[in-house]
Amino acid sequence: MSGQDAERPTPRVPRGFRDLFAADLVARREMLATLVEVYERYGFEPLDTPALEYVETLGKFLPESDTPDGGVFALREDEEWMAMRYDLTAPLSRVVAQYGNQLTSPYRRYQMGPVWRQEKPGPGRYREFYQCDFDTVGTESMVADAEICSVVANSFEALGIGRGEYILKVNNRKVLNGVLDAIALPEDEGGQRLAVLRAIDKLDRLGGDGVRGLLGKGRMDPSGDYTGGADLSSEQIDIVMGYLEATVEDRTRVCARLRELVGSSEVGAEGVRELEEIHELLEAMDLGSDQVVFDPSVVRGLAYYTGPVVEGVLTFEVDEDGARREFGSVIGGGRYDSLVERFTGAKIPATGASIGVDRLLTALKALGRQRADRSQGPVIITVFERDRMADYQRMANDLRVAGIATELYLGTKGFRAQLKYADKRHSPVAVIAGSNEFESGEITLKDLRLGAKLSKTIKDREAWTEQPAQVAVPRAELVAGVKQLLERHANGGDQD
Q: Where exactly are the structural domains of the chain?
A: 22-49+85-183+232-367, 378-490
Residue 15 carries which DSSP code? T
Q: Cα angle at 206 between 268 and 332, to 5 degrees?
A: 55
Confidence band, pLDDT 50/70/90 cuts, at residue 495: very low
- pLDDT above 50 for 61: no
How much of the chain exceeds pLDDT 70, in percent? 88
pLDDT on residue 301 = 67
pLDDT on residue 62 = 41
- First and final CA of the chain: distance in angstroms? 51
pLDDT on residue 303 = 66
- pLDDT above 70 for 290: yes
The β-bridge partners of 80 are 77
Confidence band, pLDDT 50/70/90 cuts, at residue 91: very high
What torsion, rounded to 10 degrees, do the Cα atoms 313, 314, 318, 323 define? 30
Q: What is the mean pLDDT of residues 54-59?
A: 83
Higher pLDDT, 466 or 402: 402
Higher pLDDT, 228 or 274: 274
pLDDT on residue 463 = 44
- Measured distance CA(195)–CA(301) in Å, rounded: 14
pLDDT on residue 454 = 46
Report pLDDT digits (tens) over 239-264. Answer: 989 888 887 779 999 999 999 999 99
| DSSP one-letter string for 387-441 | GGHHHHHHHHHHHHHTT--EEE--S---HHHHHHHHHHTT-SEEEE--HHHHHHT
Average pLDDT, the chain: 87
Confidence band, pLDDT 50/70/90 cuts, at residue 121: confident
Flag the least confident range among 30-39, 246-255, 285-294: 246-255
Report pLDDT digits (tens) over 327-386. Answer: 889 999 999 988 888 888 888 999 999 999 999 999 998 888 875 444 678 999 999 999
Residue 204's SS3 state is helix
Which amino acid makes up residue 274? E
Q: What is the mean pLDDT of residues 185-203?
A: 80
Closest to 251 (Cα-Cα) out of 285, 292, 298: 292
- pLDDT above 60 for 475: yes
Confidence band, pLDDT 50/70/90 cuts, at residue 115: very high
Higher pLDDT, 49 or 206: 49
Q: What is the mean pLDDT of residues 183-195?
A: 78
Higher pLDDT, 2 or 152: 152
- Measured distance CA(64)–CA(157) in Å, rounded: 43
- pLDDT above 80 for 494: no
CATH superfamily of 378-490: Anticodon-binding domain (3.40.50.800)
Task: Outline where DSSP puts E strands in 236-363.
Answer: 292-294, 308-320, 323-335, 350-356
- Which pTM was predicted? 0.84
Residue 171's SS3 state is strand
- pLDDT above 60 for 457: no
pLDDT on residue 143 = 97
Report the range out of 83-92, 336-345, 449-458 with the highest average pLDDT: 83-92
The β-bridge partners of 333 are 310, 353
- Measured distance CA(270)–CA(124) in Å, rounded: 39
CATH superfamily of 22-49+85-183+232-367: Bira Bifunctional Protein; Domain 2 (3.30.930.10)
Residue 490's SS3 state is helix
